[in-house]
């Protein structure tokens, strides 16, 4: 109690006043399931940060209005430590022991697949915010993430529009790149690109020796009109782009579209070597809109003095240096707001009612309005951005709102 008081005094009179009333107010437990240690910590910690920020934002604005009462969000943060089976255990803990109403979490597909049965068994609710390969639909998961037709397919379309005729699919060796590339190959074939003009190569996680691959890219690109579709994940991008630049390849003679490099990943990459290459996301930090200016501005302010207003929760482990916002962060935040609105509509935290209420929820996001569809995916605008030396993206094309579709056979046959 005392520590709450002290921290509240620190964060200003207004917040303190609110929190006094909050002592009496109802709270709802909300789970945060992101790795805070291990290999994925670099990416996932940012999502934990933005979730806490969003909880604070909602609590400051009066919390969730359910049945005439104001309910504040109380975060329960666990650390699955980049350990896939541990994701399932921690999810179980959140749902059974802490009895949280909803969980926001997971980054890699394998972690999502690992805790999916737990959510289905306990009828929990999970919001998943990171671009993924699709071919999955659980009634207990809402995917604010970009589906393949909201990222990979538009990017390939853009490349085809630029007159590219040869595609080099390069990825890390795990489920997301392999599934995405399988879909892309079918898609490219439907667009009249013959198999001989598509090359597909995978490298292990943390691969450092890209000499041979870059040499084959160079050969591949020699005839012109070639591009690389990269699903390389994590820091393995550094040796790749270094080798790429040293071989005299540039974004002019062979552009690279990367699906796994957002502003946040950029912080650890040599931006100079990536200039001119492309990204495709449903959000860029450089998007100009009043909502985005507010989101970015508020987040940067919050990160310097992080609290979750109104509840007894101490925010720790926040690195305030050189922070950016990126698509998964934006999608995490959207998930929280959609859930809040659904709860308010349903008038209860009960999962089945909230699930029904979620369908058709709209939210004015930094990039424009997003809508939750019946298939648990968003209708969300898609953008193509070009990398700048500052680690930001310059938006070169807005592709408008695209309805997320998890199953490739549907969007492949539609065209």
Partner 1 sequence: MSTRTGHNPTARRLASVRWAVAGLAAAGLLLAASFLPLAVGAPAVPAQPTFPHRAELVAAVLSEDAPKQLELVKKLVEAGGDPLVEQALAAWRQGGVFLYETNDTRTPFLLDPQADPDGQARALRLADGEQLKDPAGKPLRFAATDLTPVDTDSKLRKAIKVTLDLFALANPDPKMRRDAVTKLGQEQNAEYLPYFEARRTKEREKEVVRALTEAVALTRTVDEDVKVRVAAINQLAELRSINSLQFLQKIEKDNKAVTSPGAKETFEAAHAAVQQIESYLAMGNLFGTAFRGFSLAAVLLVAALGLAITFGLMGVINMAHGELIMIGAYTAYVTQNLFRAKLGATGAGFDTYFLAALPFSFLVSGLVGLILERGVIRFLYKRPLESLLATWGVSLVLQQIFRHIFGAANVQVNSPSWLNGSYVVHDVLFAYNRLFVIGFAVFIVFATYLLLTRTSLGLQIRAVMQNRQMASALGVRTDRVNMMTFAFGSGLAGMAGACLSQIGNVGPSLGQSHIVDCFMIVVLGGVGNLVGTVCASLGVGVTDQILQPWLGAVLGKITVLAGIILFLQWRPAGLFATRTRSLEG
Interaction with partner 1 in 292-321: which residues (CB under 8 A)?
A: 319, 321
Interaction with partner 1 in 388-407: which residues (CB under 8 A)?
A: 396
Distance between CA atoms of 131 and 176, rounded to whole angstroms?
A: 9
Compute CA distances 5 → 9, 23, 70, 71, 385, whole Å: 6, 11, 21, 20, 46
Query: Does the protein bind partner 1 through residue 375 (CB under 8 A)?
Result: no
Query: Does the protein bind partner 1 through residue 288 (CB under 8 A)?
Result: yes
Distance between CA atoms of 216 and 274, rounded to whole angstroms?
A: 19
* Contact residues for 410 (Cβ-Cβ < 8 A; gap 6+): none
Query: Does the protein bind partner 1 through residue 178 (CB under 8 A)?
Result: no
By CB under 8 A, name the one of 39, 93, 138, 286 that touches partner 1.
Answer: 39
172 with 236: CB under 8 angstroms?
yes
- For the chain, percent helix, then strand, then coil, each to nearest 5? 45, 20, 35
Exposed, middle or buried: residue 81 (CB in 10 Å: 0-12, 13-18, 19+)?
Answer: middle
Minimum distance of partner 1 from residue 39's CB (angstroms): 7
Distance between CA atoms of 371 and 350, rounded to whole angstroms?
A: 21
Query: Does the protein bind partner 1 through residue 269 (CB under 8 A)?
Result: yes
Query: Does the protein bind partner 1 through residue 194 (CB under 8 A)?
Result: no
Q: Are strands 26-33 and 102-105 parallel, antiparallel or unpaired?
A: parallel
283 with 327: CB under 8 angstroms?
yes
315 with 54: CB under 8 angstroms?
no
Query: Could you tell me which stretch among 80-88, 117-125, 216-224, 354-362 binds partner 1 (CB under 8 A)?
Result: 216-224
Minimum distance of partner 1 from residue 238's CB (angstroms): 5
Minimum distance of partner 1 from residue 207's CB (angstroms): 6
Query: Does the protein bind partner 1 through residue 246 (CB under 8 A)?
Result: yes
Interaction with partner 1 in 323-352: which residues (CB under 8 A)?
A: none
Report the residue number, 251 or 373, with the smaller CB distance to partner 1. 251
Calculated CA dihedral for residues 131, 132, 136, 139, nearest 10 degrees:
-30
What is the secondary structure of 264-306 as a DSSP string?
Answer: HHHTTS-HHHHTT-EEEES--TT---HHHHHHHHHHHHHHHS-
Interaction with partner 1 in 154-173: which residues (CB under 8 A)?
A: 161-163, 173
By CB under 8 A, name the one of 3, 252, 413, 414 that touches partner 1.
Answer: 252
Longest Cα pair distance anywhere in the chain, in angstroms?
Answer: 71
Query: Does the protein bind partner 1 through residue 275 (CB under 8 A)?
Result: no
Minimum distance of partner 1 from residue 285's CB (angstroms): 15
Q: Which of 167, 150, 188, 90 is closest to 383 using CA atoms?
A: 150
**How many other C-beta atoms lie within 10 A of the C-beta of residue 304?**
9
Query: Does the protein bind partner 1 through residue 212 (CB under 8 A)?
Result: yes
Query: Does the protein bind partner 1 through residue 248 (CB under 8 A)?
Result: yes
Residue 27: which H helix or E strand, with range?
strand 26-33
Query: Could you tell me which stretch among 56-64, 235-243, 308-316, 346-354 binds partner 1 (CB under 8 A)?
Result: 235-243
Question: What three-state secondary structure class fits 385?
Answer: strand
Query: Does the protein bind partner 1 through residue 251 (CB under 8 A)?
Result: no
Query: Does the protein bind partner 1 through residue 216 (CB under 8 A)?
Result: yes
Query: Does the protein bind partner 1 through residue 270 (CB under 8 A)?
Result: yes
Query: Could you tell me which stretch among 82-90, 119-127, 245-253, 373-381 binds partner 1 (CB under 8 A)?
Result: 245-253
Report the residue number, 16 or 247, with the smaller CB distance to partner 1. 247
Query: Could you tell me which stretch among 9-17, 67-75, 143-151, 221-229 binds partner 1 (CB under 8 A)?
Result: 221-229
Interacting residues toward partner 1 by CB under 8 A: 39, 41-42, 45, 161-163, 173, 201-204, 206-209, 211-213, 215-216, 218-219, 222-225, 235, 238-239, 242-243, 245-248, 250, 252-253, 267-270, 272, 288, 319, 321, 396
């Amino acid at each position: 109690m005392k520590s709450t008081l002290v921290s509240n005094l620190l964060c200003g009179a207004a917040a303190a006043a609110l929190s006094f009333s909050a002592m009496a107010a109802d709270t709802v437990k909300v789970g945060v399931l992101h790795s805070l240690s291990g290999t994925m910590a670099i990416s996932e910690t940012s999502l934990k940060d933005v979730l806490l920020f969003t909880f604070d934002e909602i609590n400051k604005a009066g919390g969730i209005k359910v049945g005439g009462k104001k309910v504040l969000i109380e975060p329960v943060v666990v650390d699955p430590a980049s350990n896939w089976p541990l994701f399932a255990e921690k999810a179980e803990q959140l749902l059974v022991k802490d009895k949280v109403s909803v969980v926001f979490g997971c980054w890699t597909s394998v972690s999502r697949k690992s805790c999916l049965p737990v959510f289905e068994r306990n009828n929990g609710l999970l919001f998943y915010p990171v671009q993924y390969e699709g071919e999955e639909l659980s009634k207990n998961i809402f995917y604010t993430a970009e589906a393949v037709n909201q990222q990979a397919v538009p990017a390939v379309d853009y490349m085809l529009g630029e007159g590219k005729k040869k595609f080099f699919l390069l990825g890390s060796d795990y489920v997301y790149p392999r599934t995405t590339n399988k879909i892309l190959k079918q898609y490219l074939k439907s667009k009249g690109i013959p198999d001989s003009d598509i090359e597909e190569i995978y490298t292990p996680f943390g691969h450092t020796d890209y000499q041979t691959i870059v040499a084959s890219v160079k050969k591949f690109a020699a005839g012109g009109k070639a591009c690389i579709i990269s699903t390389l994940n994590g820091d393995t991008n550094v040796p790749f782009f270094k080798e790429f630049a040293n071989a005299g390849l540039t974004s002019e003679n062979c552009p690279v579209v990367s699906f796994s490099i957002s502003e946040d990943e950029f912080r650890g990459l040599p931006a100079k070597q990536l200039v001119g290459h492309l990204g495709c996301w449903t959000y860029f930090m450089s998007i100009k809109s009043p909502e985005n200016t507010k989101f970015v501005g508020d987040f940067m302010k919050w990160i310097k003095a992080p609290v979750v207003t109104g509840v007894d929760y101490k925010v720790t482990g926040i690195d305030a240096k050189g922070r950016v916002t990126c698509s998964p962060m934006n999608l995490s935040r959207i998930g929280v707001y959609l859930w809040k609105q659904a709860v308010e509509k349903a008038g209860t935290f009960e999962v089945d009612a909230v699930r029904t209420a979620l369908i058709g929820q709209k939210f004015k996001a930094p990039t424009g309005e997003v809508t939750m569809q019946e298939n648990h995916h968003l209708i969300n605008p898609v953008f193509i951005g070009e990398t700048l030396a500052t680690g930001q993206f310059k938006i070169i094309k807005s592709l408008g709102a695209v309805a997320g579709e998890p199953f490739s056979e549907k969007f492949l046959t539609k065209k």
